[in-house]
């Protein structure tokens, strides 16, 4: 039975009311194959370089500058995927992050972030500065979020697994920009995942709308004055879309609906024309809805100015009491142990040398710039053997943090071992000992499988760390000895 034949009659009837004479074209779209796409990581590679080098048939997605339809649909097999140079994402799902204007240095919240498609893009646009809090109420889903952000090379990030209410109580009015891609009935994804049809018959729009209003209410209260919030779903239901937006506009008069720039395929909202709808018969993609809201200088402005200093002071005391304040192995707060400092100095020296060459060697100027921001502004924190560089932002205690900042490695018995996450933030210009392999080199696949590699280079120092790269972009670490490279690629990520 085809997807169209499985569509519930109540769903079809409602869509006839929405689309009128377009209904047949809409229903016919369920007989076509779903599209696939990739989004380029502009923090590591330029769009021009990616489109020139990747062996796919790439066509631009209209609503984002770095998104492409990819054919044939097998981008998960290319080494650049494992280097975090692009993210595999359904084209319509690229809409929410593309509509939320992000500037470097801002504080951004992705409230329902797993598995990470939106969060990775928001992180890129912060360019290593500011802070991204990526949250998902499900800790199991948030684990995929942690990995995807690590592969992406995101450093100015903390990942939490909390309810919106607990985040609001902890952060208060804190964020410049918020993205809420809310749980929904999933009507827009019926073609891509037909199992959602059975779920829809059991839990339709009437089950999700109250939850969406609750989530959005908490989100609005975490938004600073003059901030912007993007609400989105992957459903066609007016009850979950425009009705939810209308409800929050009624309850928060300081909010207004902003009009995003119109792109090809955008349909207006129902009754709220500045909302955006994507229908699968009008675009190459699945169904989506988005509304961009702006908060005027009202509401929490006074609370923010009066309570910010007290909040930060209380936070520092709580962190100290819980033993999470920055500390080093010798027990002196904030002091970086010599082995860690020496390793980071190698990165810093390489980045400075690269910056002086102004990127003429072909590597990403953006990558080197982000690494400099991390090394020069992030705080060193050590928890047990784990060494981290964390964004210079005071975070509230008492939340479930799954990741904070960039885990740079571990220190055990005076020896520092760099982390997989650190390798994903670097390229060949950022380290002084590199094994740079072409994407078509069979050793790349062997490395990703965890195999030891034979090396012909005679100038390696025995026991030295080597950054393994593909086409100049970090894949992981190895350790040289006796003419071979001992594989240090993270075991949990290895190809089977």
Q: Catalytic positions, please?
A: 234
| CA 49/CA 47 separation, integer angstroms | 6
The kind and range of the H/E element at 448 are helix 442-448
CA 382 from centroid of its chain's CA atoms: 24
Kindly report the number of other CB atoms within 10 A of residue 263's CB atom: 16
Name the CA dihedral angle for 70, 72, 76, 82, rounded to a multiple of 10 degrees: -60
Strand order in the sheet with 379-383: 379-383, 386-390, 406-412, 415-418
C-alpha torsion angle, residues 173, 219, 294, 264 (rounded to 10): 150
Distance from C-alpha of 290 to C-alpha of 151, rounded to nearest angstrom: 27
The percent of the chain in helix, strand and coil, each rounded to the nearest 5, is 40, 25, 40
Q: Distance of CA 333 to CAs 311, 337, 374, 379, 389, Å?
A: 21, 11, 19, 11, 14
CA dist list (Å): 442 to 437, 439, 446, 460, 493: 9, 8, 7, 22, 18
Helices 338-356, 365-377: crossing angle, 10 deg rounding = 140
CB 346 within 8 A of CB 432: yes
403 CB-near residues (< 8 Å, 6+ apart): 146, 149, 150, 157, 158, 159
d(CA 249, CA 7): 33
Count Cβ atoms below 10 Å from residue 410 Cβ, excluding itself.
Answer: 16
Residue 166 CB-density burial (10 A; 0-12 exposed, 13-18 middle, 19+ buried): middle
């Amino acid at each position: 039975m085809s997807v169209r034949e499985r569509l519930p009659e109540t769903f079809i009837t409602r869509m006839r009311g929405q689309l009128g004479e377009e209904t047949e074209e809409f229903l016919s779209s369920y007989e076509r194959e779903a599209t696939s796409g990739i989004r380029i990581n502009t923090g590591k590679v330029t769009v021009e370089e990616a489109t020139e080098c990747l062996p796919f048939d790439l066509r631009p997605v209209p609503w984002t500058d770095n998104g492409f339809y990819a054919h044939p649909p097998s981008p998960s097999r290319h080494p650049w995927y494992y280097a975090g140079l692009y993210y595999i994402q359904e084209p319509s799902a690229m809409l929410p992050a593309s509509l939320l204007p992000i500037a470097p240095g801002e504080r951004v919240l992705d409230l329902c972030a797993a598995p990470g498609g939106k969060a990775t893009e928001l992180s890129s646009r912060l360019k290593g500065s500011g802070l991204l809090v990526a949250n998902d109420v499900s800790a199991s889903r948030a684990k995929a979020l942690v990995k995807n952000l690590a592969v992406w090379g995101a450093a100015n990030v903390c990942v939490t697994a909390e309810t919106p209410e607990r985040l609001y109580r902890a952060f208060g009015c804190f964020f410049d920009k918020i993205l809420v891609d809310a749980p929904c009935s999933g009507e827009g994804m019926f073609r891509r995942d037909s199992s959602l049809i059975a779920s829809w018959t059991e839990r339709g729009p009437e089950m999700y709308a109250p939850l969406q209003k609750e989530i959005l209410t908490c989100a609005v209260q975490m938004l600073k004055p003059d901030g912007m919030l993007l609400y989105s779903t992957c459903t066609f239901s007016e009850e979950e879309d425009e009705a939810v937006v209308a409800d929050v506009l009624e309850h928060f008069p300081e909010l207004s609906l902003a009009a995003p720039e119109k792109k090809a395929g955008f349909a207006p909202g129902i009754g709220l024309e500045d909302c955006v709808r994507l229908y699968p018969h009008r675009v190459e993609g699945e169904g989506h809805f988005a509304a961009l809201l702006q908060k005027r200088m009202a509401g929490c402005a006074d609370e923010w100015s009066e309570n910010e200093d007290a909040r930060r002071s209380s936070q520092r005391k709580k962190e100290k009491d819980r033993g999470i304040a920055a500390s080093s192995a010798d027990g002196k707060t904030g002091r970086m142990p010599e082995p860690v400092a020496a390793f980071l100095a190698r990165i810093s020296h390489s980045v400075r040398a690269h910056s002086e060459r102004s990127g003429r060697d072909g590597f990403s100027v953006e990558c080197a710039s982000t690494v400099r921001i991390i090394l020069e502004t992030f705080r060193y924190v050590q928890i047990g053997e784990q060494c981290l560089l964390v964004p210079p932002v005071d975070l509230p205690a008492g939340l479930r943090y799954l990741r904070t900042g960039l885990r740079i490695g571990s220190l055990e018995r005076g020896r520092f071992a760099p982390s997989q996450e650190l390798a994903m933030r670097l390229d060949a210009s950022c380290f002084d000992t590199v094994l740079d392999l072409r994407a078509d080199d069979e050793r790349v696949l062997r490395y990703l499988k965890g195999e030891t590699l034979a090396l012909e280079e005679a100038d390696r120092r025995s026991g030295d760390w080597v950054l393994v790269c593909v086409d100049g972009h970090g894949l992981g670490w190895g350790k040289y000895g006796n003419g071979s490279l001992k594989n240090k690629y993270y075991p949990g990520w290895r190809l089977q």
